[in-house]
Amino acid sequence: MTTHSVEKIGGTSMSDYAAVRDNIIMNPVRDDTVYQRIFVVSAYGGVTNDLLEHKKSGKPGIFSLFASGEKDDGWQEALNKLRSRLHDINAGLFEGALLLNQANAFIDERLQAAEECLLDLQRLCRHGHFSLEQHLNSVREMLSSIGEVHSAWNTAQLLRKDGINAIFVDLSGWKSGQNMNLDQRIEAAFRDIDLSSQMPIVTGYAQTDAGLMATFNRGYSEMTFSRIAVVTGAAEAVIHKEFHLSSADPRLVGAENAVPIGRTNYDVADQLANLGMEAIHPKAAKGLRESDIPLRVKNTFEPDHAGTTLTADYVSSTPRVEIIAGCTGIYALELFDQNMVGQIDQYDREVLAVLRRFRAQIISKDINANTITHYLAANLKTMKRIRRVLEQTYPDAEFNQRKSAIVSAIGSDMQVPGILAKAVSALAEQDINVQAMHQSMRQVDMQFIVDERDYEAAVKSLHRGLIEIHDHGTAICAAQPLVVAV
């Protein structure tokens, strides 16, 4: 029987080494050992944004500046700023000059190699026979690895200084001539590791023949984490974040009103991911779900709270709403054409082909006899392109486009008579106009499309009307018992 866990530490948590050491590393579930745990670490908070681009604002980082080529030395300026920032991080972690110098030398070697590679590529692509575009995926992969390599190496050294037999496990493929898939790279890295006496600190980025970034983009570290759990046969997977997986965003409903969920399932995680509020990347969750490995989401800064466990088979013993979540910046694109009657399938296929072409994410959709409305996560520029193509395809159709928000009530079982009416009443009490709403037959979520300016009020009113009316205490449902050695 396997008794080890695989645990991922998020970037914000990583930025507080003392909390990681005291609340996670030195606070094991088991009473008999601090080992039997594998830690997969993210880059320190904000570092991957500097390497690539800001995840939310899109502000260009080193990769974006290099790829655009608008200013030849712009990416080098950004790289020099990052080097200074990483040295500052190191200075805040290592007290002795010896370890600090080693830490700076380690990351400087990676940064210098990356810089030389980019300069060589830049020179090569000035010749007409070579295209920069063909190499950008590899550049993005290389730069992505630097943040996790930095944090993993540092953490392993700091833990060794603090008496833990930590080992740095570099999955980045640095100076490796071998092409492997993800599982093969994991198997090779863990072949000689003894989990009973060694604590692996693993890079969240892993180099693979297919390219982890190309497949999973910024969700790559969760995929590495998931596959390590599956390949090594973990008893439990744990994600340490700076917050609980709660009934709503505490910043919106108030920390005193938000409550940890405690238990839910991977179906609920899928609904959250669709709204851009990932508990875990859907493809990463798939491996855990299929291998029957429970996932626990814990708050780094509340170590004594059991957090929230996600399993494949959990269904709430009492039907109820578990979480209110949503997203803003959604565009509703409505196509109305009376010629559509009886031909909805044809229209739908053609519209979907256009949306796929422009890579617009579909959050939800409506269909009736002569109207199809898609609710899309896309920028205005993309929306204009989509609409232009559709107007050319359907010159007799009428189009309507508006910016909206989606607010969802989600739960593993919400088969409560009258719950939809209760939700609509809660919104109406705050004078919030519902533009559209959806409830599937499976009754795991209800979606309400509202004006973007009503988003926060809608979240608060639904949380107050569907969750706060119940006294849930420290969790909506107590989390599964933590894994204990047998």
Average pLDDT, the chain: 91
Q: Which pLDDT score is estimated for 284?
A: 86
Q: Which of 214, 242, 270 is the last residue of a domain?
A: 242
Amino acid at 11: G
What pLDDT is stored for residue 486 in this prediction?
44
Say how far residue 256 (Cα) sits from the centre of its chain. Answer: 25
In 10 A of CB 177, how many CB atoms? Answer: 5
Query: pLDDT category, 484, cuts 50, 70, 90?
Result: very low
**Does residue 271 lie in a domain region?**
no
Boundary residue ending a domain (242, 271, 288): 242
Query: Do 38 and 133 belong together in one domain?
Result: yes
What's the mean pLDDT in 49-60? Answer: 89
pLDDT, position 2: 63
Indicate whether 225 and 327 sit together in one domain: no
Question: Is 355 a residue whose pLDDT tops 80?
Answer: yes
Same domain, 116 and 235: yes
Determine the structural domain holding residue 150 and report its residue range.
5-242
**Are 216 and 327 within one domain?**
no
- Of 108 and 481, the one with more pLDDT: 108
Q: Is residue 362 part of a domain?
A: yes
And the tokens for 120?
A: 């060589």
Q: Is 399 a member of any domain?
A: yes
pLDDT, average across residues 112-116: 95
How many alpha carbons fall within 13 Å on the CB side of residue 134?
6
Residue 313 lies in a domain: no
Q: Letter for the amino acid at 404?
A: S
Higher-pLDDT residue of 274 and 201 is: 201
Query: Does residue 349 share a domain with residue 210?
Result: no
Residue 416: band (very low, low, confident or very high) from pLDDT cuts 50, 70, 90: confident
Q: What is the mean pLDDT of residues 370-388?
A: 95
Kindly state whether residue 61 falls inside one of the protein's structural domains: yes
Q: How many domains does the chain divide into?
A: 2
Q: Mean pLDDT over residues 224-242, rounded?
A: 95
Q: Are residue 160 and residue 59 in the same domain, yes or no?
A: yes
Higher pLDDT, 482 or 283: 283
For residue 209, give every residue at least 6 positions away whose Cβ sits within 8 Å of its Cβ, in sequence order, or none: 179, 180, 181
Largest CA distance in the chain: 76
Average pLDDT over residues 337-359: 95
Are 101 and 235 part of one and the same domain? yes
Q: Which CATH number does the domain housing residue 100 bear? A: 3.40.1160.10
Q: What are the pLDDT digits (tens) for 94-104?
A: 998 999 999 99
pTM score:
0.89
**What's the mean pLDDT in 182-211?**
94
Decide which of 223, 242, 261 is a domain's last residue: 242
pLDDT at 70 over 80: no
The average pLDDT across 418-435 equals: 95
Q: Is the pLDDT of residue 485 over 50?
A: no
Helix H, strand E, coil C: the string for the chain is CCCCEEEEECHHHHCCHHHHHHHHHCCCCCCCCCCCEEEEECCCCCHHHHHCECCCCCCECHHHHHHHCCCCCHHHHHHHHHHHHHHHHHHHHCCCHHHHHHHHHHHHHHHHHHHHHHHHHHHHCCCCCCCHHHHHHHHHHHHHHHHHHHHHHHHHHHHHHCCCCEEEECCCCCCCCCCCCHHHHHHHHHCCCCCCCCEEEEECCCCCCCCHHHHHHHHHHHHHHHHHHHHHCCCEEEEEECCCCECCCHHHHCCCCCCECCEEEHHHHHHHHHCCCCCCCHHHHHHHHHCCCCEEEEECCCCCCCCEEEECCCCCCCCECCEEEEEEEEEEEEEECHHHCCCHHHHHHHHHHHHHHCCCEEEEEEECCCEEEEEEECCHHHHHHHHHHHHHHCCCCEEEEEEEEEEEEECCECCCCCHHHHHHHHHHHCCCCEEEEEECCCCCEEEEEEEHHHHHHHHHHHHHHHCCCCCCCCCCCCCCCCCCCC
pLDDT band at 176 (very low <50, low <70, confident <90, very high): confident
Confidence at 81, pLDDT banded by 50, 70, 90: very high
**In this structure, are strands 37-41 and 199-203 parallel, antiparallel, or unpaired?**
parallel
For residue 305, being part of any structural domain is answered with: no
Same domain (yes/no): 221, 364: no
CA atoms within 13 A on the CB side of 158: 26
Local confidence band at 58 (pLDDT 50, 70, 90 cut-offs): confident
Q: By percentage, how much of the chain surpasses pLDDT 70?
A: 97
Taking CA 430 as the corner, what is the angle to CA 428 and CA 435, rounded to the nearest 5 degrees?
50
8 Å CB contact between 246 and 15: no
Residue 55 covered by a domain? yes
- Portion of the chain with pLDDT greater than 90, in percent: 76
pLDDT 10s digits, 240-277: 998 899 999 999 999 899 999 999 999 999 999 888 87
Which CATH number is 398's domain given? 3.30.2130.10
Residue 443 domain flag: yes
Residue 124: the pLDDT is 82
What are the pLDDT digits (tens) for 123-153? 887 776 677 777 888 899 999 999 999 999 9
Q: Cα(22)–Cα(34) distance, rounded to whole angstroms?
A: 12
